[in-house]
Structure 1
């Protein structure tokens, strides 16, 4: 049903997730990120609350990724059905794959990243994703999408993919990137990559607009002076 990668940029401290699924609107339920705190992907019979709870535990109780995930899972009697990945604000990782996860499932913890999936074409999909993230350079969005595309090229899900999302937190309380393809009959990951390509040159401008409107560039739309 889903394959994803969560990761941290060691240079900037940014945290993010790239995820895809055969289900509709994966970006509405599965990716969770909080600036300086952590990033979580909740998948495989998803319980979105696990994302929020894990981030709250990381922030309020100063737990490690593994400690926060373990404590969050204790609140869920159905955790055998869940697959959850975490990278905390220091780059430490954690993962849970319940024994009732669907189809071929796998998860790999790498250097400041975790890739995981279920209903996979093969275990190699996840291993390729971690390798792609670790060897990549550039912006975190580029690296996450490179890993997601590498997973797709290695076989991806056993069935067709229909939705994809990219979510990244920088220094502010809101996500600096929140892009979604909620449904596409074909190539949602490619469509997400095109959204990122269009958004990336404007990303800093939107941040400037929020923090200091007097320094913001004009886009020439009606009323924009």
Structure 2
């Protein structure tokens, strides 16, 4: 039905709440407007909502930390805070839209474009990718923490993961049809 990112001073409950609104048929902008009416802390929040259909929506409260920016295109949203410049978010969105390949590869390209445009105001130590498709869980959930080169490390993990992703989904849904992995007890 869509995707939600809550950041800055985040409230993890927003994700489920907004996804429920999208499931009920609210467009992203309306769902986000309902959240602003429902929650009195939105001045501290930065939220991006992308529905499966329709225009995305973003919100950056007046107390969002540091240099911050949020932007949407027809089918994507990008937001950031504690940035080197507002151009970082523009680069992320443009990097995503111009990249090819799997969705995860496009996300990684977007992160790389943002880093090349200046990235965070401080040092970058962590990076992650989480992608939900049709299986009902995060089919890709990769993270690198406290690395000197988190995007490069994340890219290396993604190169190993993508060729196996569908096999793991198959294993979860129908183990009898999943390929063997050659580990003890796996026949």
What TM-score bracket applies, with the shorter chain setting the length?
over 0.9
Contact 2:47 2:60 in 1 (8 A): yes
Change over 3 Å in CA distance of 1:197–1:91 after alignment to 2: farther
Q: Of 199, 209, 216, which aligns to 2:178?
A: 216
Computed over aligned residues only, the root mean square deviation of the Cα atoms, in angstroms, reads 1.3
TM-score, normalisation: structure 1: 0.79
1:58 aligned residue: 22
TM-score, normalisation: structure 2: 0.95
Give the total of aligned pairs.
187
Does 2:76 align with 1:116?
Answer: no
1:101 CA drift (Å): 0.6
Once the two structures are superposed, the pairs formed by residues 153-168 of structure 1 within 5 Å of their partners are 153-168=116-131
Secondary structure of residue in 2 paired with 1:100: coil
Contact 1:91 1:113 in 2 (8 A): no
Kindly name which structure, 1 or 2, has the bigger radius of gyration based on alpha carbons: 2
Q: Of 107, 127, 139, which aligns to 1:144?
A: 107
1:187 aligned residue: 149
2:9 aligned residue: 45
Q: Of 169, 182, 186, which aligns to 1:207?
A: 169
Please identify which structure carries the higher strand content: 1
1:55 CA drift (Å): 0.7
2:35 aligned residue: 72
Does 2:140 align with 1:197?
Answer: no
1:139 CA drift (Å): 0.7
In 2, the alpha carbon distance for the partners of 1:185 and 1:165 equals 12
Unaligned runs of 5+ in 2: none
Q: Of 160, 172, 186, which aligns to 2:135?
A: 172
Contact 1:111 1:134 in 2 (8 A): no
Structure 1 segments of 4+ aligned residues over 3 angstroms from their partners:
none
1:101 aligned residue: 64
Contact 2:27 2:54 in 1 (8 A): no
In 2, the alpha carbon distance for the partners of 1:51 and 1:65 equals 12
Give CA deviations for 1:53-73 in whole Å, capped at 9, x if unaligned. 1111111x2100111111123
